[in-house]
Chain A
Amino acid sequence: MKAQAVTESKSVALISANPPPRSFLSSFLRWEWMLVGLIFLDVLLNTRLSPFFLDANNLARTSSDFMEIGLMMLPMVFIIITGNIDLSIASNMGMSASFMGLLHNQGVNIWVAALAGLLLGTLGGMLNGYLVSRVKLPALVVTLGTYAFYRGIAYGFLGDQAARGYPKAFTYFGQGKVFGTIVPFSVALFIVLAIIFGLVLHRTTFGRYLYSIGNNENATLYSGIPVARIKFIIYTLSGFMAALAGLILAARFGSTRPDIGTGLELSVITAVVLGGVDINGGKGTMFGAVLSLLLIGLMRFGMGLLNIQGQVQGIVVGLLLILSILLPGVAGQVSSLRNTRIQWRTVLTGVGVLAVFIAFFLFFFWSRAPVIAGG
């Protein structure tokens, strides 16, 4: 219902002949520029903090750590632009990689096994696509179910075993470098695919349809665009890319365990949303998503060099994610407040309660469990 109201108001905005005048600032503050600025800032800061940051070999090596996220991010941009979501990608990746590992353990040729893994992942994507587009179940519900289902199948395939001993020719996909350069193969693959996905999104009618579905699905359907088929295609694509990412991750590790890639779906969604793609659909660019992946990668690499734990790094990424949406919204609210009378009493009460909350929490947080007198 709410989603419908949102799309309706969006279509009203599209129809109106005179778009609301954009402020001078907002044309400057395109999100992509913001990301470029943040990347620049991050590089500057990290070069000051660690002498190992601006090292071509280090950067090349660390960049391959983010390529699985990157590969799954590309179709996720499509899916989120249509206003849907796919939570099952990391599980699908685990399922495909485990299937390949299982076949490899049983002595099947590695290339046949890899192909079978890709096929299974694609089938997984098709199942998602079928349930979302034909059975018309909410994407969140479907992919939450397959999130458990596919990961479960991965455990079913391998159990507590690991598949290892992949031939050199295969591990090249995860560990090798493009001939004669220091660029890892997976990075080159990602760049090529990102360009293709970007061209499809921004230069083809298919790409325009994705935006159209995200802005107003019903209107798109009534214009004779095969909405269900398009959704089916992008979920299938997502399954294929998840499988591809799974194979590359397996090749990079040189082994497969069934819990491979657990939790990556949230990293992927974070990268897409931080890249300026609207979670409600209809807005966003591929370039923004790629930039945000670069930013997250550089930030995590920099923090890693400073010996900051992975989970603590999550605080920074999480804050950045929230602030990226929060700040433009708050700026808008403050400027709209200019014309209304502010009820100071309400504001002060709110701030007071908030201060008490924060003080209470910080007391327990910083004191690391106080000894309570009289307890």
Chain B
Amino acid sequence: MTVQNPPALRASVSRNGLLWTLIRFREAGISIFILILVIAVTVRAPSFLTVDNFKDILLNISILTIVALAQTMVILTHGIDLSVSSMIGLVAMMVAFVVKQNPEMPVLFAVVLGMALGTVLGSFNGLIITYGKVPPIIATLGTLSIYRGLVFFYSQGTWINSFELPTNFKLLSKGTPLGLPNMVIIAILVAVIVYYFLNYTRTGRDIYAVGSNPDAAQFAGIRKQRITFLVYLMSGLLCGLGAVLWVSRFESAQTNTALGFELQTVAASVVGGVSISGGVGTVPGVLLGALLLGIIQNSLTLIRISPFWQLAAQGLLILIAVISDKWILNRVERTKA
């Protein structure tokens, strides 16, 4: 049980205690897993370990990283947001329509609009969960189908194609004025902000507190409801950002945009060491989790595993990562006792 909430204790426990080494150890586990995978793949396909290929991987996991970080904040409070995929789908469609109608519009406006629309959807989730007292999994399961239904309602079954979008909007994700594609830089920026927020702000620490022990958090004067509301709101906000990038990268908005994406974001968080029961998880861990998923996807193609078996291999590797993590954790706990 003590292993369940080290980050919440991090502020009070000295940094060279056993808990601290354990936290480091957790991220070491997945790092080693990634390292082994990289070496194994490079042996089979030397083209894997090139700068271009890694740029490719980073580009592919940018949106996943952004949304997985949002998902992580939600899971930290012992919640879950299954509606992320539908929020992305709905915001993507609405933003694409607006961009199509206003091709001269500054790109930044599209980003802000997407984030604002996402915030509304996210706060609707938050409202139901905090003040309506609906369990997160049910509330977001409901909004998963509601938001997806709204996509159809809004678009009337049509979709936005590449030629309908202005060039500068398409370059929002792929342009490389700073060396790396903009999207990767945005993802890194989001990661840095979330890292700072979770570790160095009061509200961020409160998120861990609410997740590890909601009752104690309340007795400590933390407004549990407000924190819970906030994480769902932020989840919507980041999904809105992800949606704009999605439209820009794939140059289209379809009714089934991001269908099934919610499970990928949960997988990235969980593989990155975020505990589904709340209170445990770090930003670097989630980044590694997303990176691992990206590397798996990329390397399976490179070592020429039939595309039909790739999903199975992905699922198997996720299972192995989770089981080995648990196994290591058990070992550590046993040596401690």
Contacts and interface: CB of A to CB of B under 8 A. Distances in A.
B161 to A, nearest CB: 15
A291 interface: no
Interface size class of A (residues with CB under 8 A): 35 or more
Contact of B212 (A1, A142, A322): A1
B323 A148 contact: no
B315 A3 contact: no
Contacts of A330: 132-133
A358 B318 CA distance: 39
A352 interface: no
B150 A315 contact: yes
Interface in A157-184: 158-160
Contacts of A140: 80, 266, 276
Given A85-B137, A147-B315, A148-B263, 16 more contacts: A1-B78, A2-B78, A2-B277, A2-B278, A140-B266, A145-B267, A149-B312, A151-B315, A279-B138, A311-B255, A321-B138, A322-B139, A325-B132, A325-B139, A326-B132, A369-B100
B109 A1 contact: no
A159 B138 contact: no
Question: Looking at A146, A148, A153, A365, which has the most chain B CB atoms within 10 Å of its CB?
Answer: A148
A279 B129 CA distance: 14
Contacts of A372: 98, 102, 105, 109
Contacts of A25: none
B104 interface: yes
Interface residues of B, number: 76
Contacts of B267: 144-145, 148
B231 interface: no
Contacts of B120: 357-358, 360-361
Interface stretch (A37-45, A71-79, A266-274): A266-274
A296 to B, nearest CB: 11
A321 B141 contact: yes
B193 interface: no
B272 interface: no
Interface string B51-63: 0000000000000
A255 interface: no
B95 to A, nearest CB: 9
A370 B263 CA distance: 33
Contact of A311 (B138, B149, B260, B316): B149
Nearest to A366: B154
A152 interface: yes
B213 to A, nearest CB: 5
10 closest Cβ contacts across the A-B interface?
A152-B312, A149-B315, A152-B311, A148-B315, A315-B149, A369-B97, A314-B145, A318-B145, A329-B133, A322-B142
Nearest to A6: B214
A148 B311 contact: yes
A211 interface: no
B315 A150 contact: yes
Interface stretch (A53-61, A131-139, A225-233): A131-139
Contacts of B5: 1
Interface in B316-331: 316, 318-319, 322-323, 326
**Residue picked from B4, B123, B326, most chain A C-beta under 10 Å:** B326
B310 interface: yes
Contacts of B260: 263
B195 interface: no
B110 to A, nearest CB: 10
A270 B213 contact: no
Contacts of A319: 142, 146
A186 B72 CA distance: 42
A148 B314 CA distance: 7
Nearest to B327: A135
A5 interface: yes
